[in-house]
Amino acid sequence: MDWFEPVRAYCERASAGYWAEPVNALSNGAFLVASVAAARRAARAEPPDRAGLSLAGLIAIVGFGSFLFHTLAVYWAMLADVIPIALFINAYFALALGRYLGLRPVGVGAATAGFAGFGFILKPALDSLCGRDVSTATNGSIDYVPALLALFGMAAATFRRPEARLPRTGQRLAGIGAVFLISLTARTLDRAACTVLPIGTHPLWHILNAVVLYALVATAIRHRETAG
C-alpha cells in the first residue's frame, strides 16, 4: 500500500497541484459553519446535549479531512476524508436507535454492528451481481447508499411510533433524506458534468451535506427536548 499514491477522483482536479481543486477545497468551509452552529445548538440545550456536541466535533473533523483530500489528493488524505464520515454515520445511527426508537444499549450495539457490516458487504455484493465495478459506475457514491437507506428507514420507523413527537421527527428525517438524495446525486454526476461545468458538481455535495449534518444534529437535540 502506497500511502502517498496520487488520487484523482473529481472533475475539478486537472493537475497534481495543491490548489488544483480550489472550489472543492474551500467549499469544505460549509462543514465548519455547520459544526459551529450544531455545537451552539447543543450547548444551548438544557442540560447541554453531550451527544450533539460530540457529533458537532465530528462535523468539523469531516470538513478538515475533506479539505486535506481535495488539496493533497493522496491515499492517506482520502482516508482522512472517508473515515470521519463513516464515524459520523455510524454514531448517528446508534444515537437514533436509542433516542428515537428507545432501543437498549445491547440492541443499539448489535444493530449498529449489523449496519456497519451491511456497508462493508454492499459494494462487493453488487459488483458480483452486476458483473462490473459499481463504485466506478456511481463515482464512489454507492458507499453512501446504506446511510441514505438508514435515513429513510429511520424516518419510516418513527412515523409508526405512537408518541406525538415522533411523527414530527420522522417528517424532519424524511426531509433531510430528500436533501441528502439531492446531495448524493450531485456527487455521482460530478465527472459527467465536466464537459459543461469545469468545476463539476462536487462542491454542491459539500454544501448540501453540511446542511444535512447540521439538520441531523438539530433534529436529535429537538427530539430530546420535546421528549423531556
Does residue 127 form part of some domain?
yes
Does residue 11 form part of some domain?
no
Does residue 75 form part of some domain?
yes
User: Which residue matches cell numbers 437514533?
Assistant: 96
Does residue 16 form part of some domain?
no
Q: Which domain holds residue 58?
A: 22-227
pTM of the entire predicted model: 0.96
Does residue 181 form part of some domain?
yes
| Per-residue pLDDT at 11 exceeds 90 | yes
Instruction: Return the pLDDT at 163.
Output: 67
Instruction: Return the pLDDT at 164.
Output: 54
Does residue 13 form part of some domain?
no
pLDDT band at 160 (very low <50, low <70, confident <90, very high): confident
Number of domains into which the chain is organized: 1
| Per-residue pLDDT at 227 exceeds 80 | no
Does residue 107 form part of some domain?
yes
Can you state the percent helix, strand and coil of the chain, rounding each to 5?
Answer: 75, 0, 25
Identify the top-confidence range among 61-70, 151-160, 164-173.
Answer: 61-70
Q: Report phi then psi at 189, rounded to 5.
A: -90, 5
| Per-residue pLDDT at 152 exceeds 60 | yes
pLDDT band at 159 (very low <50, low <70, confident <90, very high): confident
Does residue 15 form part of some domain?
no
What's the one-letter identity of residue 71? T
Name the residue among 62, 82, 77, 65 with its Cα closest to residue 8.
77
Name the residue among 78, 82, 103, 79 with its Cα closest to residue 93.
103
User: Which residue matches cell numbers 451535506?
Assistant: 209
